[in-house]
Chains A and B, each alone.
Chain A
Amino acid sequence: MNAIIALSLLGIFTLFTGIFNWRKAMLPIVVIGLAGVFVLNGMDYFTTPSWYADYTHMVIFDRYAVVFSAALIMITAMLFFLCKQYYQKEDNNISDIYGLILFTLVGGMLMASFSNFAMLFLGIEILSIPLYILAGTKRLEVTSNEASIKYFLMGSFSTGFLLFGMALVYGAAHTFTLDGIRQYTDAHAGDLPTIFVAGIMLMLVGMLFKVSGAPFHFWAPDVYSGAPTLITTFMATVVKTAAFAALYRLLFYTFGSAKPIWFDALWGVAALTMIIGNFSALYQHGVKRMLAYSSISNAGYLLIGVIAMNTHSANSIFYYTLVYSLASLVSFGVLMLVTQDNGGDDSYTAFKGLARNNPALAGLMTLAMLSLAGIPPLAGFFGKYYIFINAMENGYIYIVLIAVANSLVGIYYYFKVIVAMFAKDTAPTKIAVQPAYLFALVVAAALLFVLGIFPDWVSGLMN
């Protein structure tokens, strides 16, 4: 809880550094601040969560919340290392951008720790509203504008569904607290009233918009490819992690005993998301758009983790989101450099010959792609492995078969990037990379490798 307060103050302070024009100090302040927030958040890991229930039962920092928040803070800190080089031209507003990213993180942490519907709603909105602005930060580019308005319209549209669902659930259960609603669900598990069932379904629609599950995914490719790549990275990593943390928390802590109601719907959505995401990714010409569809298909794999819902599910979802975020960070990071170097061209041909003159970048990209494809020594493999094994324990064979077939399809388009990088025909120039930028990418790639060899370092954090 202290972490959220400290982070909000850090965000406000960052805005002030813009007023006083402390350009040089801004990045160190934010990174050191985030390190402090990370420690504050980590301290909650060892305290008993009941103490925090005193915040009028609005948020609860149990291990689930602390672990997810730690991942969100870590990924955001890495993103800040990429910020400086990416936003060189928009230097005038850089403090606003930093501040907005920090506020978005506050929303993400609330989404991982809510114990009341009001906090779920506020968390989602605190996360979304700064993102609408961030998606439009390249304000002279029409694609950025378009991404911004599309994200805004879809975001507020889905919030409407979420709220209507909340209202119906409230009408049946007469409370907004997760505990109260769980008691209500447990007590009426056999014969839930129609408005309650409709409420669950509408809330699910709202949440599925946020995690970009098919058929509510159509906004994602446009927004991901139109937004500035740094913000796309942020959406694919931090926002996706927060959305899944919220979805799983909502379903597990409140509607767990109503599983027969939402199970079939979510099963279908998971299968559809994987299939649509993967097969659309096959036909993309741009790597950025391919990664956007890949993000959709990864949401499908994560939904399998959500529907499995047993004692290991939270851990496996956390491991998968962390690993996926790291791999996305690296791949979007390299993509940003290549795109800028090629004057905005993000097609596969832009990657041709990258390995010859920029072996470090090509190596990082290869690692990320292999991890996303799920090749064994890397962490991406274990992410998928945990999710699939977890679903198999519950006996959900068919969905796992669909998922395995889909991840085989995925290998094709991830390898297309690798093949392009190691092709010999053209040799692009050497790309200038700032040390901080390279540092963040190397750390993320190293983590992918280390977490693949020692997956149990993080996979048991919630026990």
Chain B
Amino acid sequence: MNSINEIIRTIPLNYYIFLSAVLFCIGVMGVLLRRNIIIIFMCVELMLNAVNLLFTAFSAYSSDPAGQVFVFFVMVVAAAEIAVGLAILVMIYRNLKTIDIDQLSRLKW
């Protein structure tokens, strides 16, 4: 445990923050710009994994295990979420024969 923390600490904390901020922003832009629902799912996962990286880095730097435990919660929830999301996607594909988000625009005023 300690040795892993030391390895993580060989890279300055700011680098981790910048990397995960960049990953997070790529995820956000992907969700907002891409039209394929599966790509959007992947971008959401990217956002969550950016957060995981940040949790791990902070946890190692403050020698507090809580942050690393939190990562497990995030991973489990992300898995549950994506399972439900893919089920919804299958449901939509059966009805519409497409997974393009632009085709889903019946609800507008």
Please state if B51 and A145 are interface contacts (CB–CB under 8 Å).
no
**A132, A145, A147, A163 interface centre (most CB from chain B within 10 Å):** A163
Please state if B54 and A168 are interface contacts (CB–CB under 8 Å).
yes
In the complex with contacts A143-B106, A160-B27, A221-B109, A167-B81 CB distance below 8 A: no
The segment out of A25-33, A69-77, A170-178, A362-370 that lies at the interface is A170-178
**Quick one: which of A146, A163, A171, A289 contacts B48, CB cutoff 8 A?**
A163
- Taking the nearest CB of chain B, how far is it from the CB of A339, in angstroms? 15
Q: What residues of B have a CB within 8 angstroms of the CB of A118 in the complex?
A: 69-70, 73
Q: What residues of B have a CB within 8 angstroms of the CB of A171 in the complex?
A: 17, 54, 58, 62
Give how many B residues have a beta carbon under 8 Å from the other chain's beta carbons. Answer: 42
Q: What residues of B have a CB within 8 angstroms of the CB of A175 in the complex?
A: 64, 66
Please state if B104 and A133 are interface contacts (CB–CB under 8 Å).
no
Please state if A164 and B47 are interface contacts (CB–CB under 8 Å).
yes
Please state if B104 and A146 are interface contacts (CB–CB under 8 Å).
yes
**A117, A143, A176 interface centre (most CB from chain B within 10 Å):** A176
Please state if B88 and A160 are interface contacts (CB–CB under 8 Å).
no
In the complex with contacts A157-B44, A222-B108, A283-B109, A140-B95 CB distance below 8 A: yes
Please state if B107 and A147 are interface contacts (CB–CB under 8 Å).
yes
Please state if A149 and B89 are interface contacts (CB–CB under 8 Å).
yes
Q: What residues of B have a CB within 8 angstroms of the CB of A166 in the complex?
A: 51, 70
| B74-109 residues at the A interface, CB under 8 angstroms | 74, 77, 80-81, 84-85, 87-89, 91-92, 95-96, 101, 104, 106-109
Please state if B106 and A142 are interface contacts (CB–CB under 8 Å).
yes
In the complex with contacts A148-B88, A149-B37, A160-B48, A167-B80 CB distance below 8 A: no
Q: What residues of B have a CB within 8 angstroms of the CB of A277 in the complex?
A: none
Please state if B91 and A125 are interface contacts (CB–CB under 8 Å).
no
Whether B28 sits at the interface, judged by CB under 8 Å, is yes
User: Majority SS of interface residues in chain A?
Assistant: helix
Give how many A residues have a beta carbon under 8 Å from the other chain's beta carbons. Answer: 44
Q: Which residue of B lies closest to A156 (CB)?
A: B44
Please state if B109 and A149 are interface contacts (CB–CB under 8 Å).
no
Q: What residues of B have a CB within 8 angstroms of the CB of A122 in the complex?
A: 73, 77
**Quick one: which of B17, B85, B95, B104 contacts A156, CB cutoff 8 A?**
B85
Please state if B64 and A160 are interface contacts (CB–CB under 8 Å).
no
Please state if B91 and A129 are interface contacts (CB–CB under 8 Å).
no
Please state if B107 and A143 are interface contacts (CB–CB under 8 Å).
yes
Cβ contacts A289-300/B at 8 Å (1 or 0 each)? 100000000000
Please state if B51 and A163 are interface contacts (CB–CB under 8 Å).
yes
Compute how far the CA of A129 lies from the CA of B83 in the bound complex, rounded to whole angstroms. Answer: 10
Please state if A152 and B28 are interface contacts (CB–CB under 8 Å).
no
Q: Which residue of B lies closest to A119 (CB)?
A: B73
Q: What residues of A have a CB within 8 angstroms of the CB of B92 in the complex?
A: 145-146, 148-149
Q: What residues of A have a CB within 8 angstroms of the CB of B48 in the complex?
A: 159-160, 163
Whether A225 sits at the interface, judged by CB under 8 Å, is yes
Please state if A167 and B51 are interface contacts (CB–CB under 8 Å).
yes
Compute how far the CA of A149 lies from the CA of B37 in the bound complex, rounded to whole angstroms. Answer: 9
Compute how far the CA of A160 lies from the CA of B26 in the bound complex, rounded to whole angstroms. Answer: 12
Compute how far the CA of A156 lies from the CA of B80 in the bound complex, rounded to whole angstroms. Answer: 11
Q: What residues of A have a CB within 8 angstroms of the CB of B50 in the complex?
A: 164
Compute how far the CA of A146 lies from the CA of B100 in the bound complex, rounded to whole angstroms. Answer: 12
Whether A153 sits at the interface, judged by CB under 8 Å, is yes
Whether A333 sits at the interface, judged by CB under 8 Å, is no
| B37-66 residues at the A interface, CB under 8 angstroms | 37, 40, 44, 47-48, 50-51, 54-55, 58, 62, 64, 66
Across chains A and B, which 10 residue pairs bring their CB atoms closest together, nearest first? Answer: A160-B47, A171-B58, A222-B107, A167-B54, A174-B62, A163-B51, A146-B104, A125-B77, A156-B44, A226-B107
Q: Which positions in A face B, CB cutoff 8 Å?
A: 117-118, 121-122, 125, 129, 132-133, 136, 139-140, 142-143, 145-150, 152-153, 156-157, 159-160, 163-164, 166-168, 170-171, 174-176, 195, 221-222, 225-226, 280, 283-284, 289
